[in-house]
Structure 1
Amino acid sequence: MSEERLWRDLSQCAMSEERLWCDLSQCAMSEERLWRDLSQCAMSCVVTDNDGKICLICSVGGTDKSRDGVNVFGMQLDMWSPPRSDVVAKYNLSLKFPQGEISNLETVSVCYWVQPTTLASYETHLSLAVSDQENDVLHLYRRGEHLGFYYNGVRQFGFPNLTSSIGLHVWSHYCHVFQRGEYRAYVGGEERARGPIFTTKASLSMQGIITLGQEQDQLAGGYDSSQTFRGYIAQLNIYNRSITDEEVDQQATCQGATLGDIFSSDREEMEKFGVSMETINVTEFCKKMVEYIIFPEMRYLPQSKLTCERVGYEVYSPTTPAENTMLHNSSVQFTEECKSNYHLWVGVTDEEEEDVWRKFVDNDVVTETVFETNEPNGGTGENCILMFLPNGRWVDTSCDIEWPACVPCQIDQTAPLRLRGLCYMNEAETFFEVLGYKGGKPFLHGYYGYMVYRNEREEWQMYDTTQSETVALVTLPSRDSYPIGRHVWTLKKSICNNLINSTIHMSFSVCNNFEFSCSNGDCILKEQRCNGKNDCTDFSDEDNCEMLVLPQGYRANQPPVNSSEDEPIYLTSIVRILRLVDISDVRRSINVEMELELWWQDLRLTYLNLGDTLELNKLTSEDTTSIWKPKITFPNVYDGNINTIEEEISLRKLADPQTPDFNDVKMDVAYTGESTLLVQKLHYSGTFACSFDVFYYPFDTQRCFILLQLASVRKEHTSFTSDKTTVDYLEEKLLPGYEVTHCTVAVTDRGNNETRHSMLQVRPYTVGETRVDQTLDSYCAGSLLAYLHVRLAVSLTTLLVLYTLFSNTSNSLPITAYVKMIDVWFFYCIFLLFFITLTHVLTEHMDNRERERPIVVHPLRRQKVEPKVREAERVLVTVRWVVVPVLVLLFNLIYWALLLGSAF
């Protein structure tokens, strides 16, 4: 009856006393005054008669049934069974709102609680379809930790930070708000996402079918077992309005929820196919569940604590007598294994403060202790607790006592075990928990359906419940051992490119990706891996410390390529002159000890477990020979031999390591070729041929080159570059007979047009013979000898001395085809002395002739005879005071101008 339809849009009921027509088909009774079945109404309504018609007087607000209890739907709770596609709860909204009464809504809010017990690769929470073609009108799902949704058939990718922590058996609250093309999402009452929805159609149609736990690839069908939800869903409410932050917080903190005016799982009667349903109080969602697992092996307390820690748990302690009774009852099943009257450790201690018993788990004080009569009685010497088997009461004992007992471990969902060694795509697939008991031992439950348990043959078996097949087996060294840590498994199915019956290393540990898992399952920081110290108790952190991973097809004779394909690899080079062992200008050679340091990158390589210093990152000789490295030759080595004193290659970190591979059983820290430098250090000694120019000796400046050539690789592939090349001189600059002023290096090349190689031209020193010594030896001595005012005999002796000095100096110099400036100096000095000697000879001859000439005296004339100046003496004076000084002055001006001008 069209006039009697009830419009349930809450926006139409905001005013009290407004009369709405009621569809009689939705009422509990017809044709009379009645109370509407509140479970079918969005509002509290009273039916009255008005002129022969049935109407409703509605009050604002809806029924909050959650305060009494909420419906919880359980789906596929048997974790040992494979996932099914026929388990679903659904509701047909078309029957509730016929003939399009509520069809396209631009504002819709969806809130619900979920508690998964096993994860699927595609965990569907809710699916809304209106036809076979429009089967993803609204689809809410989770993949790993990421939440996602389809809106009017379009998958939304714009919310990468919309995540939820992965934890089994824990209730999580979600709210999704779609408002005129905008989206908001809440996880646990906290807003996690906000932004636009990318779709051509902003409104949602409510004329369809809702399913819980399955995605509809067709209307009410087309279910896929890999897209199921396994666990519990509760308090699903759909509103035709934008729910407020206050309402979200109210729901997430278990204070109840207003029933959804479009749909409520606590009001509508859903069709259930293989789905269980129970009613619980809403406060149960926010209760912290405390669960434990008993390890039925007798161990001392330190080993018992370690057993719990290796699975991510801590020794459990009851906090009330009721909890203690439950623990005692649970432990009775292991009386055969825990053979002692004091059979169970309890996780409390008063070591911090006497008679104040605190839990191992969180250090909280246990106020309701359950001690045996006359206990505790050990004082400060007994700070730990054992449970008495006959009645479950406590006795105190020493924490160091060598008393074996079984141990209960409190489950911590925030620290799952991780399986490493397979090839999962999603990290959550590696998560495991210690859950229940099978074969008298706790078993490991994989979040995505794997089970690891001890079978009847006392092997540990890895079983895939999704495929109902065994994956692998391992035999442990003792009956009390668990597959925690690193073990060799035998595969019973082909997996990760490994064949059946092949062996594979796999490990279980609670270590995070930034930690290293020891072989026994203990965790240390990755910085402690391969650091030269034994940080694992089993010393396994120093095993297999290789630093180099060669890719398949790597060739050591093939140089690396630059990231820019058109350019060669440019080497950074540092030449360090350690010492000049010998400088021989006669042999025209220098003997040098030097270091060459080369840096380059090889993008093909991967490096592991690098330390912070080069000393920690030295490659082994085997690794050094397996990679490409520059080969250096010395074209101007004197005798063709160069002595390589030492060669080593180290690695230097340039950037952070790669994102850890959660499947890596070794848990090594990996660095790419781009984030790492190869540093080659070469220590050489050798003699190098030089071409000395001693024309200006001893004011000469010598530049002797050391040539370092890249061999076996063309310049177009690998090359030195000027902006990455330096030279350092590390010895004293003032050497015996020489002085080093500076060092330079230049990049050049060598070869022909077909093959050219890059080369360094190192000028390791600029040397000049020490000028003071040479000036005193040669110039000063020569000058003093040459300028002496001596007679003939002395001049001849001086000439002989000067010639001897010249001969000795010449013998100390390299033989040259040209006359050197020092030769010119000695020639000048010898010539000057020779000239002086000749002058003396000439004047002496002139003097003798004058002495033989007679003196004429006139007898009749009385005149004074004055002494006559002899010609020889006049010549000698002229040469001594005029000729020689002029010659000396002119020669020295020209000589020193040329010499010093070229030298400086």
Structure 2
Amino acid sequence: TLNRPGARKGKPHASSFGIVLQELFTGNLEAGWSLEMNGSLVLGQEQDSLGGGFDVTQVMIGEIAQVSIWDRAFWHTEVVDMAACHTLGRGNIFNSDTDELEVYGVTFKFVDVESFCRSPNHYYMILPEEQTLSESNDQCQMLKAPLAVPNDATDNDHLTEELLPYEQLCSPGKDWKQWLGISKHEWITDREMCGVAKGNIITLSLSPCTSEDFMCSSGQCTDQHFRCNLDHGCTDGSDEVNCGKVEVGDEYQSELPPAGPKGSVLKLLQELILLRVVGIDDISMAIDVELQVVLTWIDDRLTLRHLSVSRGGAILTKDEMQMVWTPKYQLMNLESGKMELLEQSIIITTANNATVSAFNNVNRDLLYPGATNNLSIISHYTARFTCFFRFFGYPFDVQSCTIDVRLPSTYEEIVEFSEEVIIHYTGATDLALYTIRDIMLGSDSGTNKAVLEFKLHRRPGVVMLSTFLPSSLLLLVSWSTLFIKLEALNVRAIMSLTTLLVLYTLFSNLSSSLPTTAEIKLIDIWFFFIISLLFVNIMVNVFVRNEVTPRPSPSVKRVTQVRPMLQEDLPPIELKICVS
């Protein structure tokens, strides 16, 4: 017996429900067995004594038709024909159609046998309760049935005939009826039942929902995939209530790691994701990176709920994260311990082997075993790692950097890294001064250590333009002094010495941008070579001699002085004219 508190205006109401089944005979009828016919058969009323002991509260309210008794069993085809209204199905021992019956307080009417095979469109469910159109529509949806609307005059007459017996019951103020309710309600137990003591409050639900459906608090049915999917599938929003995803037993200890399959060592699937390289410090030999560490494992001690593979999986709340065991690890090669945890979350990325919860569970949520579903802890860091640079090949050097993840020593022979490791890089390949290549799992990786290794290839273009090209031009300027006249010693000396000083300043500025190491670099060899050439050029300009080659003496010749001839020194000229 269950009492529902406040079912009708706060008044408690008691309802008793009982079904009594008694098996009288099972088997084939044999000769000699007989059914004593010294009793009375009463239809629609329970008799507490032979032909008497009637109770008005035990009267059947409904319709009775085609009550028959046979002296044989039926073939399957006969049952199908009678259920489909193809045959009348009258019993050869007794049938209510032809045998004479004593009738008290009931109405007789004759109908066609086909009327018993009613289609769903003509089957009306009457709820004698006064409701609005919206409330009626919601109530019918809870019962998975549409509102009754007659299609023709016959349907209208049928519906009117069905409604007439309830005409007086729907009058205002009629509150005699009490409904169990297609929804969830709290009940007070009148006696101990199902392990619940007397006087306790329990929640019971009543609905037409199947095991594939979720029952809303209002009684509405919705598909299970709408349960706890961050989108209301119930009109009252109850599908997004009580969305806890982890269920642990009383014996669960979150500080103890689970065992692997068949009691073996627990294997952690590791995924190292280098999101981006924030900065590279050549002077301090360190790199600033942003990375994610993902560890995946299975905990067979858990029972999981509300899982989904869409939207990246189911995310646990902070309280649920504290309920379950999570693996610990260390980032080893940090510079001065510089690390910041930006975000950490646990997700369940699978939804395998779903089973329906126990029948007496009000919510009827799907349950998932922890032994077949993966838990993944995702940690998002920004950190500064040390990286030992080798500068011999500068500016054509290639640096090798690592990120080391190590399990604590207390996990030895209990928790190990699996052999399968997933490595990703999602950032830009070409940085300002380097190119990132060859991202792989380091050779030092093992069962308790994972090493992410990558190469930094320096981009020499800037160094070529800012160092090699200017130094080559300075060398040409210094060589050009060899083509200046020897008499201009000051010009040649000043120009060659100035080029040497400018080159040394360039070399000094470049050296200050590199870490101070005892290792000789290719750029150092280049500058030593150029400086040596400029020094030799200066020495040539300084020690070259300005010597004049003597000219040979001219040969001595006799010079005869010639006096100019005057007019008086000329002989007289005779002019003779001959006339013939």
TM > 0.5 fold call = yes
Q: Which residue of 2 aligns with 1:813?
A: 514
Per residue, is there more strand in 1 or in 2?
1
CA distance in 2, matches of 1:357, 1:838: 126
The aligned residue for residue 763 of structure 1 is 453
In the alignment, structure 1 residue 786 sits paired with structure 2 residue 487? no
How big is the shift at 1:861?
Answer: 13
Structure 1 CA distance for aligned equivalents of residues 167 and 523 of structure 2:
114
The change in CA–CA distance for 1:614 and 1:255 in structure 2 (over 3 A counts) is closer
Matched, 1:541 2:230: no
Deviation at 1:607, TM superposition (A): 2.1
Which residue in 2 is equivalent to 1:832? 533
Shift of 1:238: 6.4
Q: 1:390, 1:595 → 2: CA distance?
A: 71
State whether structure 2 residue 406 is matched by structure 1 residue 709: yes
Q: What fraction of aligned residue pairs are identical, expressed as a percent?
A: 27
The separation in 1 between residues aligned to 2:399 and 2:63, in whole angstroms, is 83
CA pair 776-404 structure 1, distance change in 2 beyond 3 A: farther
| 2:30 is the counterpart of 1:93 | yes
286, 289, 310: which one pairs with 1:589? Answer: 286
Pick aligned residue for 2:431 from 724, 730, 735? 735
The equivalent residue for 1:625 is 322
Q: Which runs of 5+ in 2 are unaligned?
A: 1-16, 34-43, 45-61, 100-111, 482-491, 558-580
Tell me what 1:726 maps to.
423
Displacement of 1:285 in angstroms is 12
Q: Distance in 1 between matches of 2:410 and 2:98?
A: 78
Offset at residue 624 of structure 1 (A): 1.6
Q: Secondary structure at the match of 2:407?
A: strand
**Please, which of 823, 828, 851 is the counterpart of residue 524 of structure 2?**
823
CA contact (8 A) 1:727 1:745 kept: no
Deviation at 1:644, TM superposition (A): 1.1
**1:775 aligned residue:** 464
Structure 2 residue matching 1:686: 3-state secondary structure: strand
Q: Which amino acid aligns with 2:516?
A: I
Aligned partners of 2:398 and 2:167: how far apart in 1? Answer: 102
- The one-character-per-residue Cα deviations of 1:788-831 (angstroms, maximum 9, x if unpaired) are 42344433222222222221111111111222222122222222
Residue 504 in 1 paired to residue 202 in 2? Answer: yes
- Give the CA deviation at 1:247: 6.9
Distance 2:130 2:79 in 1: 49
- The one-letter amino acid of 1:726's match is I
Q: How does 1:496-895 map to 2 (within 5 A)?
A: 496-563=194-261, 565-578=263-276, 580-614=277-311, 617-655=314-352, 657-711=354-408, 714=411, 716-721=413-418, 723-731=420-428, 733-746=429-442, 748-749=444-445, 758-764=448-454, 766-787=455-476, 788-789=478-479, 790=481, 791-841=492-542, 843-844=543-544, 847=545
What is residue 105 of structure 1 aligned with on the other side? none
On the 8 A contact 2:503/2:531 being kept in 1, the answer is yes
CA displacement, residues 657-682 of structure 1 (integer Å, 9 cap, x when unaligned): 22454332112222222453333332
> Aligned partners of 1:819, 1:256: CA distance in 2, in Å?
109
What CA distance in whole angstroms lies between the structure 1 residues aligned with 2:541 and 2:204? 108
What is the one-letter code of the residue matched to 2:30? L
Q: Distance in 2 between matches of 1:813 and 1:687?
A: 19
Of 178, 185, 190, the match for 1:487: 185
Give 1:226's aligned residue: none
Partner of 2:36: none
CA distance in structure 2 between the partners assigned to 1:247 and 1:298 by the alignment: 44
Alpha-carbon separation, structure 1, partners of 2:63 and 2:171: 34
Alpha-carbon distance between aligned partners in 2 of 1:588 and 1:700, rounded to the nearest angstrom: 14
Counterparts in 2 of 1:838 and 1:236: CA distance versus 1, 3 Å: farther
Which residue type is aligned with residue 261 of structure 2? Answer: S
Q: Distance in 2 between matches of 1:784 and 1:605?
A: 74
Instruction: Tell me the CA shift for residue 494 of structure 1.
Output: 3.9
Aligned to 1:300: 132
Deviation at 1:481, TM superposition (A): 5.1
Pair 1:814–1:504, CA change in 2 (3 A): same
Contact 1:298 1:406 (8 Å CA) reproduced: no
- Return the letter of the residue paired with 1:707: D
Name the aligned partner's letter for residue 338 of structure 2: N
**What is the match of residue 5 of structure 2?**
none
CA RMSD of aligned residues (A): 4.6
1:622 is displaced (CA, Å) by 1.1
Q: In 2, Cα distance between the equivalents of 1:390 and 1:704?
A: 87
Q: CA deviation at 1:709?
A: 2.5
Gaps of 5+ in 1: 1-78, 97-116, 118-168, 172-231, 259-264, 268-276, 316-346, 351-355, 359-364, 372-384, 393-402, 408-438, 442-479, 751-756, 863-904
User: 1:779 deviation in Å?
Assistant: 2.4
Contact persistence 2:274–2:289 (CA under 8 A): no
Would you say the 8 A contact 2:222–2:234 is kept in 1? Answer: yes
Aligned residues: 486
Cα distance in 2 for partners of 1:735, 1:91 equals: 91
Distance 1:653 1:357 in 2: 56
Structure 2: distance between partners of 1:642 and 1:233? 86
Contact 2:85–2:117, Cα closer than 8 Å, also in 1: no
Cα distance change, pair 281–762 in 1 and its aligned pair in 2 (3 A): farther
> How far does residue 782 in structure 1 lie from its aligned partner after superposition?
2.6
- On the 8 A contact 1:591/1:688 being kept in 2, the answer is yes
Q: Secondary structure at the match of 1:734?
A: coil
Q: Tell which structure's C-alpha radius of gyration is larger.
A: 2
Q: Provide Cα deviations, 1:28-69, integer angstroms capped at 9, x if missing partner.
A: xxxxxxxxxxxxxxxxxxxxxxxxxxxxxxxxxxxxxxxxxx
1:309 to 1:819, Cα distance in 2 relative to 1, 3 A? closer
Cα shift readout 1:237-264 (whole Å, capped 9, x = no counterpart) = 469xxx8x86786677677799xxxxxx
Counterpart of 1:725, as a letter, is I
CA distance in 1, matches of 2:206, 2:218: 9
- Rounded to whole Å, the distance in 2 between the matches of 1:676 and 1:279 is 61
Deviations for 1:485-534, whole angstroms, at most 9, x for unmatched residues? 22233334444443443332221111111111122322222222223344
List per-residue Cα deviations over 1:827-870 (Å, max 9, x = no partner).
Answer: 222223223334444x43xx37x78xx989999999xxxxxxxx
Say if 1:825 and 1:291 are closer, same or farther in 2 by CA, change over 3 A: closer
State the secondary structure of the residue aligned to 1:545: coil
Change (3 A) 1:83 1:779: same
Secondary structure, counterpart of 1:727 in structure 2: strand
Secondary structure in 2 matching 1:730: coil
Quote the Cα distance in structure 1 between the aligned partners of 2:298 and 2:158: 65
Three-state SS of the structure 1 residue aligned to 2:510 is helix
Amino acid aligned to 1:836: N
Match of 2:337, SS state, is coil
Change (3 A) 1:281 1:822: farther
The Cα of 1:368 is off from its aligned counterpart by: 6.1
Whole-angstrom distance in 1 between the partners of 2:167 and 2:553: 171
- Residues 805 and 715 (structure 1), Cα distance of their counterparts in 2 relative to 1, 3 Å cut: farther
Q: Distance in 2 between matches of 1:783 and 1:628?
A: 65
Tell me which amino acid in the other structure corresponds to 2:448.
S
SS of match in other structure, 1:587: coil
Q: Distance in 2 between matches of 1:714 and 1:514?
A: 42
